[in-house]
Amino acid sequence: MLGGNEEVALRMLQARDHQHEEWHRETAGIDYYACFTLKHQMRKYFYFGDLLAPEYKQQMHLGAKSWTEQDPFRRPHYAYDRSPGWGPNAKNSWVDVRSTENLYLMRVTSVCLMAEETENNGTAAIYKQHLLNYTKTLLRIGIGEWDSENYHGHSIGPLLNLYDFAKDHQVKAAAKTCLDFFAAAGAVKYWRGGFNGPTKRDYNHAQPFGGSAANLLWVWFGDHPSNKNDHWEGDEVHQITSAYRPPEAVVHLAHKKFSKLVEIFAAKPEYSATTGHHSESSAAYLETQYIAHSYQMGSLTSGTSKDGGDVCGFKLLIWDDARGVVSLQAAPTGDAAHPGSPMYKTDVVTAENRVAQQENLAIWLTQDASLLGPG
């Protein structure tokens, strides 16, 4: 649509949603269940809505009115039959119940926007309070799904929807506050197309432009010597069509326009603290980040997760004239070719480990290095 191919784009945007009869009968055949779908439904309805056929936009409105006439979360669903999985047939809800940080934000922002749009004020008030509580907790303790190379950008997308389309001035202000926080947190670790560690839920996307964090932050921050590679996340459409821009100071932070050398100490909360509004939650991870002239190095005192965990405890980005930055991998592992956390590859980290870092020096200790094998 943005590229000018309006006829084909409109046909795709108004195609029947998958499982429109099996799962979405009560919402006029519109998919208001899956969180990743919700995020894009909001942009379709509010931003591209004037280009949609009037009868299709009305269908979306009617579906949203039914969807938000009461809180859709855990509302009994006609398709529920105790099936395995995460659909309404498994979870007995009118909206996706999964609550990782990015999915939580897709859900609560979308329900809030559509409840407001359809004047279901009771539901809108419930979700406004969810969002205000989330914002307060975020500012107090930070992001539960912190600095995720895979999901940081996916949390930004729904917050852009909220900022662009919310009518309630407090909700809009909360959206901007959250966006400023996510942009600043990302700016600390974004550098010339790369995203430094340590990270939660890294999905082994260690290289520059490897995941949603670097891809989306690149749209705001650029600072890369060549054309971006051809990997796109799809969420960039929300940035391109949004009125939000990060504060100038955050852009300077991303470009590392400050006096160096700099050492940063940061505390990260436990995973569900923000989505559960646990504003008194203690720190679960302690990070050291060192920003030099030609490299950026970060670590956790607790090291990299072992036995299937999803935390990468060490990363190093180094300046490269042609490629922006390159990522050098190090880990207490027998498989040096596999970067990052062992969440999706067994036996990557086979021993308890800790990292001691002070400025430009890091010492990585393992409980029994002989377990790692050769190399």
User: Mind listing the pLDDT tens digit for each residue in 251-298?
Assistant: 999 999 999 999 999 999 999 999 999 999 999 999 999 999 999 999
* CA 81 to each of CA 74, 84, 87, 93, 318: distance values in angstroms, whole numbers, following the listed order: 14, 9, 10, 12, 53
On whether residue 151 sits in a domain, the answer given is yes
CA angle 149, 371, 368 (to 5 degrees): 90
Distance CA 91, CA 83 (A): 8
3-state secondary structure 223-271: CCCCCCCCCCCCCHHHHHCCCCCCCHHHHHHHCCCCCCCEEEEEEEECC
Which position has the higher pLDDT, 116 or 340?
Answer: 116
On whether residue 116 sits in a domain, the answer given is yes
Q: What is the pLDDT of residues 296-325, one digit of tens each?
A: 999 999 998 887 789 999 999 999 999 999
Q: Are 94 and 72 in contact (CB under 8 A)?
A: yes
Nearest CA-CA partner of 345 in 374, 304, 375, 307: 307
Distance CA 129, CA 261 (A): 41
On whether residue 76 sits in a domain, the answer given is no
**Secondary structure of residue 133 in the 3-state scheme:** helix
On whether residue 142 sits in a domain, the answer given is yes
On whether residue 269 sits in a domain, the answer given is yes
What are the DSSP E strand ranges found in 71-172? Answer: none
Model pTM above 0.85? yes
Q: For residue 94, report the phi and psi dihedrals to the nearest 5 degrees.
A: -90, -5
On whether residue 55 sits in a domain, the answer given is no
On whether residue 311 sits in a domain, the answer given is yes
On whether residue 158 sits in a domain, the answer given is yes
Q: What is the pLDDT of residues 33-82, one digit of tens each?
A: 999 999 999 999 999 999 999 999 999 999 999 999 999 999 999 999 99
Residue 346: give the domain boundaries.
99-372
pLDDT tier at 375, thresholds 50, 70, 90? very low
Q: What is the pLDDT of residues 226-239, one digit of tens each?
A: 877 777 888 999 99
**Domains in the chain, number:** 1
Give the containing element (helix H, strand E) for 89: helix 88-91
